[in-house]
Amino acid sequence: MKIICIGRNYADHAKEMNADVPKQPMFFMKPDTALLKGDNDFYYPDFSEDVHYECELVIRISKVGKNIDEKFASKYYDQLGLGIDFTARDLQASCKEKGHPWEIAKAFDNSAILSADLIDVKDVNLQSLNFSLKKNGELVQRGSSSDMIFNVNQLISHISKFITLKTGDLIYTGTPSGVGSINIGDKLTGYIEDRQMFEINVR
């Protein structure tokens, strides 16, 4: 199983990061050891002083595919969940500045939160699906799949030009604006529409 994460898929987040809106999808990967599924505690890593949450819709691949045409892409996934792409923003800034790879900032253990429950794609309108994140009960991120720069089918088509997708692979589809720091003691609660998907305590 592999985890593929999309960068800058919402214009408002690209803007808050002072980054350009991409002309084609950008992605990076996390190893399977990054996955933290369900309402488990997240332990603040000792190598960073500025870990950020990025709440994202997560698509689960249901069929092996390579060079998938956009018009057939919807046949390659049947479930979605809600996740957090935890990012060591201080390490990421340093990697970006030096032009280094940024795995230490993005791919560390437990950096990919995923809700225990997944939702059948057929039960939602994936073209316009709302999701949100609360930190200690306060709304910090709110997004809609309708604001994605590249929709899920376009993402799958693009990724599969380069990398074969397999059953169980996860695609983190990018974060809307409102990313921010976490601290030990915080509680992060994620929602798809009105349904609570996860509750994570930072230890």
175 binds Mg ion (CB under 5 A): yes
Side chain identity at 106, as an amino acid letter? Answer: K
- Alpha carbon of 143 to those of 35, 37, 65, 147: distances in Å? 22, 21, 28, 7
Instruction: State in angstroms the smallest separation of the CB of 108 from Mg ion.
Output: 14
Q: By CB under 5 A, which span of 65-73, 78-86, 111-119, 155-163 interacts with Mg ion? A: 78-86
- Judged on CB neighbours under 10 Å (0-12, 13-18, 19+), 97 is exposed
| 173 forms part of the interface with Mg ion (CB under 5 A) | no
The CB-of-19 to Mg ion minimum distance in angstroms stands at 12
Cα dihedral across residues 108, 40, 128, 60: positive or negative:
positive
Contact 88, 45 (CB under 8 A): yes
Q: Three-state DSSP class for 191?
A: strand
For Mg ion, which stretch binds (CB under 5 A), given 48-56, 74-82, 109-117, 123-131? Answer: 48-56
Instruction: Tell me which residues in 100-119 interact with Mg ion (CB under 5 A).
Output: none
Nearer to Mg ion, 85 or 169 (CB): 85
Q: How far apart (Å, rounded) are the C-alpha atoms in residues 19 and 182?
A: 22
Name the minimum Å distance from CB 169 to Mg ion: 16
Total of residues contacting Mg ion (CB under 5 A): 3
Q: Is residue 85 at the binding interface for Mg ion, with CB under 5 A as the rule?
A: yes
Binding status of residue 54 toward Mg ion by CB under 5 A: yes
List of residues contacting Mg ion (CB under 5 A): 54, 85, 175
